[in-house]
Every structure is written in C-alpha cells, then in structure tokens.
A and B are shown apart, each in its own frame.
Chain A
Amino acid sequence: MKLNCLLAVAGINIRHHFKSHFLLALIIAFLTPVIFGISSLNAEGSAQPLEMFLSLTGLILLTPVFYPEQDENIRDLIRSKRTEHLEVCFVRLLYSLLALAAIYGIFTIFMYCSEDKVTFRHFIGGYSSALFLGALGFFFAGVCENTAAGYMVGMIFYISNFALKKELKNLYLFSMSSGSFHEKYSLMSVSVILIFFTFLLLNFRYSSAFSPAHRNKNIK
C-alpha cells in the first residue's frame, strides 16, 4: 500500500478507535506523580513509577488493536476489501507503540527535570515492561478474538508481579526498582516474539480453513 494511503488509514483509525484509549493512558500518566513521589528520586526510586504504574499504559494502548473488528460481521466486511486486515492492525500497532514511547519519553524527561536520577536506561526499562504487558494483552486479545481476555491476562500478570517476584524470574516487570536490568532484555524479546506470533497465527487462521465463522455457526 502506498504511504499516503497508510497515513490516511492511520488518521481515520486514530480518530475513531484510538482517541479514548490514549486519553485513558494519559490519565494514568497524570496520576503517576500523585501516587508516587517523583521529585529527587534515586535510580531505583525513579524506576518504580515507570515500572509499577505507568506500565499499565502499555496494556491500555496495545490490547485493543483488534477491538474494532471484534464483531464478526465488521471483520468480514473489512477483510473483503483489498487492503489486508492485518496490515491495518499493523498500522494500529505501530502508532500505539509510538504513542507509548511518547508517553514514556515525555514522562522520563519530566522526571529528569524534577532532579531524579533517570537515564535513557530508565526509559528503555520502563518501556519494556509496558511493552510486555501490552504484548501479552495483544496476543491473547488476538488469538482468543476477545479483547476482554487480553485485558484479563495482562491484568492477572500485572497483579502476580506483586507476589511472584521469584517465580517470574526473567519476566519480572519491576526488576529495575530493585536494581536489576537484565530482565528487560527478555521482556523485550518475548514481547517481539508474542507480537510476531500473533500476526503469524492470525494470518494462518485467515488464510486457511480454520476460521472463526465455525464458532459463529455453532452459536446460531
């Protein structure tokens, strides 16, 4: 597809499907300084708001990528057009990832200006946690064709991080708050793999015999 077409698709999608989620993510971002102190923090202290709260914005922004077409009939209609449905989803994912980066970027700069000991590492570390939560939601929402399930799994994972630090090992979201960064590499790579597999799986599902219409039939 041509670039100007892609941009037009992105624009319409942002206007109709993204605005409200972005607004919610912003509310979370504005609440963060209220819940956490964000002035004059040390390195670990600075990581806390980024990992423990702002990361929810990832779940909010990435999970609903498939939501507009959760209705079988809308999805069939959109899929009957020349542009691949997954291409549209990919566009949505891209701008969601950018928006997430923007939120994290601005927040990190804001913390830097509040004399916190934040570095670029904090940005990357926080972003990876948010990305992982988002990718988890994205994966389950896509594979189960059910956005509620995506949010559910993301939320359960987030909650379990408060209790299961040891068990989660390299997927522990709040590692930077206790001074460890190497978990971020696994979070990052697993996120990329999850997103990749979601597309792979859906592409397979759409192009092959196994189709969601099957379930639809049973219901009727």
Chain B
Amino acid sequence: MPTNRFSRRDVLKGSTALTVGAVFAEPLRAAVPEASAITPALIEAAKKEGKLAFYTAMDLQFAQQLGKKFEAEFPGIAVRVERSGAERVFTRIGQEYSANIHAVDVVNTADQAHCIVWKRNGWLAPYLPEDVARHFDKRYYDPDGLHVTTRILVSPLGYNTNLVKKEDAPKSFKDLLDPKWAGKMVKGHPAYSGTIMNATFQIARDLGWDYLEKLAKQRVMQVQSATDTPKKISLGERAVMVDGAGYLVIRYKEQGQPVEIVYPEEGTPLATGPSAVFKAAPNPNAARLFQNWMHSRGAQQFLVDWARQYSPHAQTVEKPSVRPLKDIKLMMEDPEGVHAQAEAIKKRYAEIFKV
C-alpha cells in the first residue's frame, strides 16, 4: 500500500493529534519567531534565485498585478502565479507533496483550515514579516509565525442592476427562497473554492442545512470559483449571486458594470485568506522576500485600492465608498470547525445540489 499520499486515515490521525496537541499546546509552544525585515542580504539572495512560484486562490487578474508589482520593485525575480480555487490549490499541493514534488514557494489560500493541515504536517516555515509583527492584530497571524492573514474576504449577496430593481433586490438569505428567484441565482461550489467552503460551513451552522436544501430547490446555477459568481451576474447570466467574492462586485461596480452588493441581514459569511512560506520551498529567499513584501504597507494598500479587498494591516486606508468591515454584520469564522467538517460538507453539499 502506498504511503506517499494522504488517506482519510491520515486526516483522522491528524485530527486526533490536533486535539491532543490543543491540550498541551500552551506549554509546548515555541517562542514567536523574531520579526524579519527586508534586508539587502535577503534581496541579494532572492535575486540569485531569480524566481518564485506563488500558488493562490485570489482573483487571477489581481494575482498577476501583484506579481508584476513585485517584479517591478525587485527586478530580476520572476513571479509565476498558479491560480485556482482554494480547495483545488490545497488538493494540488497535497498531491504534489505526497509525490515529493516541492514546487510551491508561497501560498495564499482562502481557507484557514488548510493552514491547520499544513502546519500539522510540518510543511510550513516560520517567518514573521516586520510589518505583521508591528501592524497586524494578533488574530491575523499564527502564534508560531507559520502563516499570516493576507486578506479578509466577505461572501455577500449580489445582483445585476439591469435585471433587478433596487427595491426588489433580496435583502437576506431568507429572501432567496422566494419562488421569484427560482432559476435566477448563481452559486459557487465548496469543493473548489475556500471562500465558499467557509460560507457554506457558516450558513449551515447559522441557518441550518435545511436552508441549503430549500435553496437547492430554487434551481441554482452552480459554478466553481467564488471569483466566478460576480462575473456571472455582471454578464447578466444570472440575476443574483448567493455567494462569492464581494471584492469583485465592488470592483466591477466601480468599473461601471451593472452590479450591486447586498450584505444579508442574517450576517455575511467571512473567510480570511492566509499566506505561508513552505519549508521545502525551492526558492526560500525569494519566497521570504515575497511574503514579507506582500504584507508591507505598500502591497497591502495596493490590495485595498486595486483588488478592493479588506486588509488586516492597521495602516491601510479604505475608500469611503466601501462599507468598512466593522460595520458589516459578519458570521463567525471557525477554521477548526471547517477543518473537522470539510469532507462531510462536500459530501452533503453534493447530495443536496447534485454536483
């Protein structure tokens, strides 16, 4: 029997280890690693490597912009972006690592539960960028410095303003069960997208699985990525999105496309997107430089300005047109819960939505 891949057993073993680990966690925890600055020596070493592979679940256009900006600031280091849905990024890294392929340098996902697995597997390198230690709230980075929250995502509702009048637009998840929305909604899939995985977990927890069962009867169009649902309402393919990347709705609206965001009354699902450097990264210095730079004030402000995402960096400034995070009623994120239930969620979801 092969040992070079995960089995469900490994996951189970891992969960057990995790529970045991949690009991003894406090006394055994290593000291927080010292915060690292971008030093000339690091830049020099990174330039020698000349490249890095950035696996991410963020919207492709932005991921490429981020890569280009880094390349402009540190000429001679090429960033190769490897984008797919967070759950597929997670699958990809798992599949590659179990075949002993260490190709990923830095990862940015949209599902904190992934970091639980990677951390447990011992795949992550401790690295705490200077700005993170100084300007990030403690809940936004791992106490051992293994991963840092890069961006904060909300998964609101959205609609196409050509197809739906403002006064008719749904205001809550409950509104979506109205027969008038049957066949008019689009939804992401938790087996592909980390944002949707978290959103599904939170909706099922707060509103109950029977809500999703009722929703499935509304003939919802199913797409994969959380970054696709805003595109589908912008095209006018469906009138309303049930979940997806709120930042894209904001961005498309600012570009003049006919979309509008709705923060549902029951609360808006939340997913924070962590980044990490891999211990076996083929370009360890370039990886650290990128991780450090990505959480610097400049890059984080770029994240806010260009990608319209929420930043955990205390010094970033949000435009007044966007509702600040603190004014949105948020559902509670629970990475441990997602970690424990991910497989069950995927299975149950597939039973309900038939895909």
Q: Do A and B bind each other?
A: no
